[in-house]
Structure 1
Amino acid sequence: MARRQILSLSERESLLALPDDELTLTRMAYFSEHDLALICAHRKPASRFGFAVLLCYLKNVGFAPDKKIPPSDALLKHIASRLNLTGDLWPAYLSGRDTTRREHLTELYRYLGVKAFTGKIQQDCITHLLSMATRTDKGILLAEEMLVWLRQNNVIIPAIDVVERTCAEAMAGGDKIVFQTLNAPLTPAHRDALDRLLESSDNQSSRLTWLLQPPGKINGKNVLQHLDRLSSVESLALPEGIDRTIHQNRLLKLAREGRKMSSRDLTRFSATRRHAILVCVLEEARATLTDEVIELHERMLNSLFSKAKRTQAERLQQTGKLIQSKLRQYIDVGQALSDARDSGDDPWLAIENILPWPEFVASLEETRHLARKNNFDPLHIITEKYSILRKYAPRMLSTLQLVATPAAQPLADALVVIKDMYLKHSRKVPATAPLEFVPESWHRVVITPAGIDRQYYEFCALSELKGALRSGDIWVKGSRRYKNFDDYLIPEKDFDKLTPALPLPVSADYHEYITSRMTLLQSRLEEVNAMAALGELPDVEISDRGVKVSPLDNCVPAQVSPLAELVYSMLPRPKITEILDEVNGWTTFTRHFSHIKNDITRPDTRLLLTTILADGINLGLTKMAEACPGSTKSSLEDIQAWYIRDETYSAALAELVNAQGKRPLAAFWGDGTTSSSDGQNFRTGSTGRYAGQVNPKYGQEPGRQFYTHISDQYSPFYTCIISRVRDSTHVLDGLLYHESDLKIREHYTDTAGFTDHVFALMHLLGFAFCPRIRDLHDKKLFIKGKADQYPALQSLISTTSLNLKEIEIHWREVLRLATSIKQ
C-alpha cells in the first residue's frame, strides 16, 4: 500500500513522550517486591539500573528506550532514588554489550508476558484500525488508537517510523473502503452523469463549477438561479441515503477536498475515487443550496419589510406639513364651534367664517385620506412588492420538501393551498383555506369583507414560514440548518447507554437533582432575606419597586494612566511581519495550517504568513501580492485554497492561546478560568454589501459581526462571524468548542448575551453565568412556596410558583439536549 507522511514532527515527538508531572513519575518508578528481586538478581550497578529502566518503560508505556529515544532525566532520578543508585549510570549501561541488553529484554518479555511487534501482528493491527480509518483520516488519532490496541494486546510498541507506516497503510485501506462504499450503489447512468458534470467548453466553466457558485445579490433572479442549481442536483437522482453510508467526518472532508479542486484535477483521479468525491461534493452541495435558498428567502422578506417601513416613513414625512395644517385648521374650526355654542350664534356660519363650505368638505376628504391606516402601518403597503415574491415563490415551494409538526400543520396546509393555486393559475383563495396560522396583526389585511386577500395571504404564509423554520416547527428534507430537530440530538438508544455516566455536572436522577437545588435555593433565600431586612446587602437596594444595583466604580486608579502611557512609549514598534515571524518561532503555530489532502505542512512559511496577514488586515490577495516582493496572486490563492480553513485557524489560535497562558506574566491578569464575550459589527461596502446581512440592532445597513470570547488573561480564544442573530445564540459555542487548554468556569456577557435558555444550559453544562441583565427591576424569581415566607424579597418573587411537575416530565429530554450540545 501507499506510504505517506501522516504525522507532523510535533505529533511524532508527543506520541511517545512521557508525562512530566511529579505524581505520575513517582508512580512509574514504583517497583513491587517481585520487580525488585528480579532487578537485584543482576550483579553490576549499571546492569541493575539499566534493567530497572527497561522494566519501568515496558511496564508503564509499552516500549524500551534506546539511543534514539533516551529516557527522561526526571524518571532516571526517581528510579535511581528508588534503588539507592546514582542517576548517571544509564550512559554506562548503553555503552555495554548489545547482547546484554537483548538478554535483558528477552527476560523482561517473559516476565511481563509481552511479545514483539511482528508482521502478523502488524496486519492484525491494520485490520483493527480500518474501522477508525473509515471515520477519520487524522493520523494522530489512528496512531493513538494503535498504541492503545498494542498495550491491550501486550505487544511492544515499535519505532515511531513503524507506527506511522502501519497507520498510513490503515489509512490507505480506509480510503479504499470509503471510495468503494460510495461507489457500490451507483449505476452506470449515475457514473456517466457525474462525469458529464466535469465537461466544459472553451469559453465556459464546467457544470460542477456552476453548481458550486455562491448565491450573490439578494433578488428574485438569483433565488431562481439557486433553485435551478438545486434542481440540477436533484435531477441526478443519486441513491437515497448514500450520504449516510460513510461517516460524516469523511464525507465532509472529501466534499471540502473536492470543492477546492478544479474539474481538470478531478478528471486525473481513478474513476472510483473521482465518483466518490463527486458524490460527497454533491450531497454537501444539496444541503448548502437548500439552506442558501431558504436564507435568500428570509433575507428577501426582511428586505421587503424594511423597504415598506422606509416607504411608509418617507410618505408620512412628505405629508407631515399637510397634517400639521389640517390639525391647525380643525383646531380653528373646533374653537369657532365652541365659541358659537357659548354665544348662541349660527355654527354653520361660524365654520364658513373660517373657510368656505365647499373648501371645508374638500378638506374633510383630504383628512380622511391622510387618516387611512395604510399611511401609518407598513403592512398595508407590503403588497406593492408582491411581484418580487411572486417571481420565485412558486418554484421555491415546489422544490423544497417541507415537513410540519402538528403545531405548524395549518401553516403547512396553507402552503399546499398556495402551491396548488400556482399550479392551477387560480386568482382567488379558496374559502376553505386554513386561517389558523394568521397572526392577529395580519387579520385586518388578510381577511376582508370580499373574502381572503390573495396577496396578503401569500405574504403572511411565507412570512410565517420563516419563523416556523427557525423554531423547528417546520423542517426541510435535505437541509443541514433546517432539518428535523430530533436529528440534532443524540439518538435515543445511544443516550440510554450514556445515562449511567452522563458528561454533565448534574444528577441524572430528577428527584436527587431537584431536592438538592430546592434545598440550596431555600437556604440562599433565607440568607438574602435576612440581610435585605437589615439593609446589609452590599451595593444592592430592594424596595417595592424591585431591585437596584449600584454601578461599579473603576477599580483602576487615575494615577495609573500616565504610567501606562510611559510603559507603552518604552516598547519597541516592530513591523507586523516581524511579529508574525517571531511568534511563529516561539510557538510554530503555522504547523496547524496543513494541506487539506494529506495534512502535510509547508516547510516555507513566508507565503503562508503573507496569506494569513492578507486575511487579518482585509487587504485582499491582489493588493497583498503587489505589496510583497516574491509573491504572486496565484501562489497566495493556492495557499488560501489548500492550507487555510476554519479548522486550521482554530487550531493555530488554540496554539497561541496556550502559549500565552504558559507565560508567567499572564497569571498577573487571571488564572484562565473566567471569560467574557461580546460582538463587534463592521459595515460592509462595495460588492461586500451583497454578502453582508442586516441586524436591526445596528441599523438598516448590511454588515458582519465578529463575536469574540476573551479569557481573563486577555487571550481571544474563540471567534465566530454572525450577522442576523442575537449574541446569546453563540455564547455556548465559544465555551464548548474552543480548542485551547483553557478551563473556563465562569462567563460574563452584556445584555445581548442573556436569555433564559442560555441561563439554563450554562447551569446544566457546568458554567457559572454572569450576564448584565437589562431591566432587572422587572425580572421575577420563581420559588417553591409562598412569597410571604421572605417579606424583604416579596417585590422580587413571582406570585406564580415553580411548576416542578413540568420539569420532571421533561427531565430526560432536558438532559438529552444538554448532552447533545456538549458532545
Structure 2
Amino acid sequence: MARRSLLTGDERRRLFEPPVTDREVARCYTFSAEDLEWIEARHGASNQLGVAVQMALLRHPGFGWRLGETVPAAVLRFLADQVRVAPLALDDYARRPQTRLTHVRQLHDRLGLRPFNRTDLRHAVQTASAAARSTDKGGPIVEALISELRRQRIILPPAETLERIGLAGRAQARRNAADDLLASITLSQFERIDQLLINDPTLRKSPLAWLREIPESPSAASMAGIIERLTYVRAIAIDPAITSSIHEHRFEQYAREGAVAPAFLLSGYSVGRRRATVVAQLIFLESRLSDAAVDMFDKMVGSLFAKGRRGRERKYQASSREVSQIMRLFSGVIGAVDQARVDGGDVLDRIDAQVGWWKVLAAKPKVDALAALAIEDPLVSAADRYGALRRFVPTFLEHMRFRAGTGGAPLLKALEILRDLNLSGRREIPDDAPLPFASKHWKALVKPIGGPINRRLYETAVAATLRDRLRSGDVWIEGSRSYKRFADYLLPKDEVAAEAETLPVNVEMGAYLAERAGLLDQRLAVFSRRLAKDDLVGVTLKGEELSVTPVKANAPDEARSLDRAIDALLPRVRITELLREVDALTGFSSMFRELRSGKVHDNPSCILAAVLADATNLGLERMANASQGVTYAQLAWTQSWYLSEENYKAALARIIEVHHAQPFARH
C-alpha cells in the first residue's frame, strides 16, 4: 500500500531542502562575527568548512547535515566564501566518523539544540492539530509544526516523521471539529440527519440530493419548491450559531464537501465526519434556500412590471389605427376653427358643417381611453396580473423572516397586515394600514381621497417596495447570506480595537483628521506658490478659473513600431497547448487538490480541461466533446471536487512564484 502523503513535491522541497537562490541562501546562511570566530577555531580547512555546513543546515532547514546528503553547490560556495576556504576542502571532512559526531555535539551545545525524542511526540501532534483547525492543506500544517520545534530549539526529526505527525494532527483536528460541531445536536436531530442519506421512494432519491436540487426558473411552482425545501431544512432545527464552535475555514470545508459529495460517498465516512458534513450542509442550505427564495421573488415581481409594460406597448401598437383616425378628425377640427377665424363665421357652426358634431362626440370615448393609456402608471399595469402575484407572494411572505431598521417599520407593518389577511381570508385592507411607498402618486392610487384602500394595488405596491428595499439592504432576511444585515458584513465590535491597532494610521479620529488637514494645508501652500510662479506644467490660473491641460499619450513612433515587431514574433498557439506548456513549466495543476482528501488529481488533463471550461464558459459537455481521453463524468467530478476559489488562488500563487524565479524578474 502506498504511503499516505501530506505534502506535494514542491512543498517538500521548500520545507525540507536548503534554498538554492542567491537571495535565500544569503538570508538563511549568513554567519555572524561570533559564528565565524568559533568556526575558524577548528583545526584545518576541511574541519572549518565541514562544521560551517553542519551549523548552517542545523539552522535551516533544521535537520542538520544528514548522512548521504549532498550540499547544494550554491550553499557550499557561499559558506566557503565566508570561511575563506576552497569548496573542495569539504571532500576531506570527517574521514573519522568520530570527528563529525564531536562537531555535532559541540554545535548542539553552542546553539542550544537537542534531538527530537518520543516525549516530544504528543506536543508535536497537538501543534499540528492546532494548525489544522483552519485548513486541511499539508503545507501550513507542517510549517506550523516546524516553527514550533524551532522555537523549542529541537532538531527536526526526519521528513517522513514530520509528515506522519502532520497527518495525525490533521486527523485529530478533523475529529475535534466534528465533535465540537455536533456537541449540541440532539438524538432526534441525529435520526433526521441520518435519514437524509437514505433513498426516499416518494422522491426517488435521497432527501439530501432533493434538497440540493434548487429550482431556478422563475415560476410559482419553483417558489413553492424552494419554500418546501426551506421548510424541510428548518424542521430539523439546526442552530446556525453552532458554527462559532469551530474555525470558519473548517466549517466552509465541511459545507463545500457536503455540497458536492453524493449520499453513497458520505455514507462511507466515519460517523462523526459524516454527520458534521451533513450538519454543515444543512446550515449552508438554509441560507442558500433563503437567498434563492428572495432571488425568485425579485425576478417574479420584476416580471410582473415587465409584462405590464409590454402589455401597454402592445395596446399602443394596437391603437395606432384609432390614433390615426382621431388625428385626422382633430386636423379637420383645427382647419374648421382656422377657417372661421379668417372669414369671421361661427366656430361651432363651421365645425359642424365641415366635420360634423356627431363625429367629434363619437370620438370622445376613444380619446379618453387613449389618454388614460398614455398616463397609466406601471403599478396599475402590474396589478392587472394580480392573479399571478397571488400565486407566490403569500407563500413567500409567510416563510421569510424580515427585519429592518427604524425607517423600515412601516413596510414591516404592511407585510404583517398582508400575512394576517392571508391567514384569515379577509379581503379588506384596514383604513389605517401604512403606505410605505416612496412615490406619492402610488399612495394616491392605492388610497384615493375619501375612498378605501385598493387591495390589488396595495399588495402589488408592497411587493415592489419590498423588492427595492431588499436590494438596497434597508430590509434584510434572517438566515440569509446575500440579504443579511449590513452590520453583519463588518467586523464584530469586540474585534475592531485589536484590528485597528494593526493599521498604519492614527485611529484617533480627531488626531487623524488634524494630521490630514495639516498635510492638505501644506500641499495646498506648495501648490499655490508654484501656481503663482507659473511653475506647473499644463496648469494655469486665469482670473478665478483653474485650467488643467489633459495629459496626452506620448508614445513615440519607434515604441509603436517595436510593439508591432514583437507582436509579429509571437507564435500563434492553441489555448490548450499554451495551458499545457504553462503547467509543464510551473506545475500549477498540482495546486488543485481534492476537497475531501487533499490529494493531487491523477489526470492533470482533467484539471486543465475543467479550468478551460470555467474560463471560456464553454460548459463541461462541449469541453468533453472537444477533448480527447476526457469524459463528461470525469470533468463533472473534477469541477465539483477540485475546482474551488482556494485552489485557484494557490495555482495562481504558484505561477507567480515561478515568474519571480525567472531572470527577467530581477529587472
**Greater mean alpha carbon deviation, residues 335-344 or residues 377-386:** 335-344
For 2:627 and 2:539, the matched residues in 1 are separated by 58
For 1:299 and 1:457, the matched residues in 2 are separated by 19
Per the alignment, do residues 277 and 73 of structure 1 end up closer, same or farther by CA in structure 2, a change over 3 Å counting?
A: same
Per the alignment, do residues 332 and 356 of structure 1 end up closer, same or farther by CA in structure 2, a change over 3 Å counting?
A: closer
Partner of 2:349: 349
Q: CA deviation at 1:255?
A: 1.8
Q: CA deviation at 1:421?
A: 1.3
AA partner of residue 415 (structure 2): L
- Aligned ranges 1:358-373 → 2 under 5 Å: 358-372=358-372
Partner of 2:399: 399
- Conserved in 1, the CA contact under 8 Å of 2:179 and 2:272? yes
Per the alignment, do residues 26 and 655 of structure 1 end up closer, same or farther by CA in structure 2, a change over 3 Å counting?
A: closer
Q: CA deviation at 1:657?
A: 4.8
Q: CA deviation at 1:522?
A: 3.5
Per the alignment, do residues 665 and 359 of structure 1 end up closer, same or farther by CA in structure 2, a change over 3 Å counting?
A: farther
**Greater mean alpha carbon deviation, residues 217-226 or residues 473-482:** 473-482
Q: CA deviation at 1:378?
A: 2.6
- Conserved in 2, the CA contact under 8 Å of 1:438 and 1:460? no
Identity %, equivalent residues: 29
Matched, 1:97 2:96: yes
- Conserved in 2, the CA contact under 8 Å of 1:374 and 1:380? no
Partner of 2:466: 465
Partner of 2:507: 508
Per-residue CA distance 1:518-544 (angstroms, 9 max, x = gap): 234345545666777898876678899
Partner of 1:85: 85
Matched, 1:434 2:446: no
Query: Residue 241 of structure 1 aligns to a residue in which SS?
Result: helix
Partner of 1:140: 139
Partner of 2:292: 292
- Conserved in 1, the CA contact under 8 Å of 2:414 and 2:436? no
Partner of 2:130: 131
Partner of 2:188: 189
AA partner of residue 212 (structure 1): R
Partner of 2:496: 495
Per the alignment, do residues 258 and 440 of structure 1 end up closer, same or farther by CA in structure 2, a change over 3 Å counting?
A: same
Query: Residue 651 of structure 1 aligns to a residue in which SS?
Result: helix
**Greater mean alpha carbon deviation, residues 604-613 or residues 286-295:** 604-613
AA partner of residue 406 (structure 2): P
For 1:130 and 1:154, the matched residues in 2 are separated by 20
Per the alignment, do residues 229 and 633 of structure 1 end up closer, same or farther by CA in structure 2, a change over 3 Å counting?
A: same
- Conserved in 2, the CA contact under 8 Å of 1:259 and 1:281? yes
Partner of 1:39: 39
Partner of 2:216: 216
TM-score, structure 1 as length reference: 0.73
AA partner of residue 459 (structure 2): E
For 2:422 and 2:220, the matched residues in 1 are separated by 17
For 2:664 and 2:309, the matched residues in 1 are separated by 53
For 2:388 and 2:237, the matched residues in 1 are separated by 31
Per-residue CA distance 1:586-612 (angstroms, 9 max, x = gap): 111111111111111124323332333
Q: CA deviation at 1:585?
A: 1.0
Equivalent residue pairs, number: 663
For 2:370 and 2:23, the matched residues in 1 are separated by 84
- Conserved in 1, the CA contact under 8 Å of 2:182 and 2:276? yes
For 2:27 and 2:630, the matched residues in 1 are separated by 53
Greater fraction of residues in helix: 2
Partner of 1:772: none
- Conserved in 1, the CA contact under 8 Å of 2:591 and 2:650? yes
Query: Residue 585 of structure 1 aligns to a residue in which SS?
Result: helix
Query: Residue 136 of structure 2 aligns to a residue in which SS?
Result: coil
Q: CA deviation at 1:10?
A: 0.7
Q: CA deviation at 1:309?
A: 2.6
Query: Residue 452 of structure 1 aligns to a residue in which SS?
Result: coil
- Aligned ranges 1:147-186 → 2 under 5 Å: 147-186=146-185
- Conserved in 2, the CA contact under 8 Å of 1:312 and 1:375? no
Query: Residue 149 of structure 2 aligns to a residue in which SS?
Result: helix
Per-residue CA distance 1:238-275 (angstroms, 9 max, x = gap): 24623332222112211221222221222222332221
Partner of 2:118: 119
Partner of 1:767: none
Per the alignment, do residues 389 and 536 of structure 1 end up closer, same or farther by CA in structure 2, a change over 3 Å counting?
A: farther
Q: CA deviation at 1:458?
A: 2.0
Partner of 2:479: 478
AA partner of residue 429 (structure 1): I
Query: Residue 392 of structure 2 aligns to a residue in which SS?
Result: helix
- Conserved in 2, the CA contact under 8 Å of 1:315 and 1:375? no
Query: Residue 419 of structure 1 aligns to a residue in which SS?
Result: helix
Partner of 2:8: 8
Q: CA deviation at 1:226?
A: 0.6
Partner of 2:330: 330
Per-residue CA distance 1:738-786 (angstroms, 9 max, x = gap): xxxxxxxxxxxxxxxxxxxxxxxxxxxxxxxxxxxxxxxxxxxxxxxxx
Per-residue CA distance 1:266-305 (angstroms, 9 max, x = gap): 2222332221111111111111111111111112222322
Per the alignment, do residues 583 and 373 of structure 1 end up closer, same or farther by CA in structure 2, a change over 3 Å counting?
A: same
AA partner of residue 217 (structure 2): K
AA partner of residue 188 (structure 2): A
For 2:137 and 2:322, the matched residues in 1 are separated by 72
**Greater mean alpha carbon deviation, residues 493-502 or residues 13-22:** 13-22
For 1:578 and 1:489, the matched residues in 2 are separated by 44
Q: CA deviation at 1:173?
A: 0.5
Matched, 1:576 2:581: no
Q: CA deviation at 1:22?
A: 4.3
For 1:91 and 1:570, the matched residues in 2 are separated by 49
For 1:118 and 1:608, the matched residues in 2 are separated by 42
- Conserved in 2, the CA contact under 8 Å of 1:6 and 1:164? yes
Partner of 1:622: 621
- Conserved in 2, the CA contact under 8 Å of 1:3 and 1:168? no
Per-residue CA distance 1:125-171 (angstroms, 9 max, x = gap): 21233233233222211111112211221212222222211111000
Query: Residue 85 of structure 1 aligns to a residue in which SS?
Result: coil
- Conserved in 1, the CA contact under 8 Å of 2:312 and 2:373? no
Per the alignment, do residues 212 and 146 of structure 1 end up closer, same or farther by CA in structure 2, a change over 3 Å counting?
A: same
Partner of 2:389: 389
Partner of 2:250: 250
For 2:410 and 2:27, the matched residues in 1 are separated by 69
Query: Residue 403 of structure 2 aligns to a residue in which SS?
Result: strand
- Aligned ranges 1:377-776 → 2 under 5 Å: 377-449=377-449, 450-502=451-503, 505-525=504-524, 553=552, 555=554, 568=567, 570-660=569-659
Per the alignment, do residues 65 and 338 of structure 1 end up closer, same or farther by CA in structure 2, a change over 3 Å counting?
A: farther
- Conserved in 1, the CA contact under 8 Å of 2:427 and 2:455? yes
- Conserved in 2, the CA contact under 8 Å of 1:312 and 1:377? no
AA partner of residue 516 (structure 2): R
**Greater mean alpha carbon deviation, residues 318-327 or residues 627-636:** 318-327
- Conserved in 2, the CA contact under 8 Å of 1:540 and 1:549? yes
For 2:586 and 2:126, the matched residues in 1 are separated by 37
Per the alignment, do residues 409 and 374 of structure 1 end up closer, same or farther by CA in structure 2, a change over 3 Å counting?
A: farther
RMSD: 3.3
For 2:406 and 2:230, the matched residues in 1 are separated by 28
For 1:650 and 1:29, the matched residues in 2 are separated by 33
Q: CA deviation at 1:469?
A: 2.6
Q: CA deviation at 1:232?
A: 0.6
**Greater mean alpha carbon deviation, residues 406-415 or residues 531-540:** 531-540
Q: CA deviation at 1:24?
A: 7.4
Query: Residue 448 of structure 1 aligns to a residue in which SS?
Result: coil
Q: CA deviation at 1:51?
A: 1.5
For 2:13 and 2:337, the matched residues in 1 are separated by 98
For 1:653 and 1:326, the matched residues in 2 are separated by 68
For 1:536 and 1:36, the matched residues in 2 are separated by 57
- Conserved in 2, the CA contact under 8 Å of 1:333 and 1:351? yes
Larger Rg: 2
- Conserved in 1, the CA contact under 8 Å of 2:620 and 2:636? yes
Mark the runs of 5 or more structure 2 residues left unpaired by the alignment.
none
Per the alignment, do residues 236 and 432 of structure 1 end up closer, same or farther by CA in structure 2, a change over 3 Å counting?
A: same
For 1:410 and 1:642, the matched residues in 2 are separated by 47
- Aligned ranges 1:771-790 → 2 under 5 Å: none
- Conserved in 1, the CA contact under 8 Å of 2:240 and 2:283? no
Q: CA deviation at 1:366?
A: 1.8
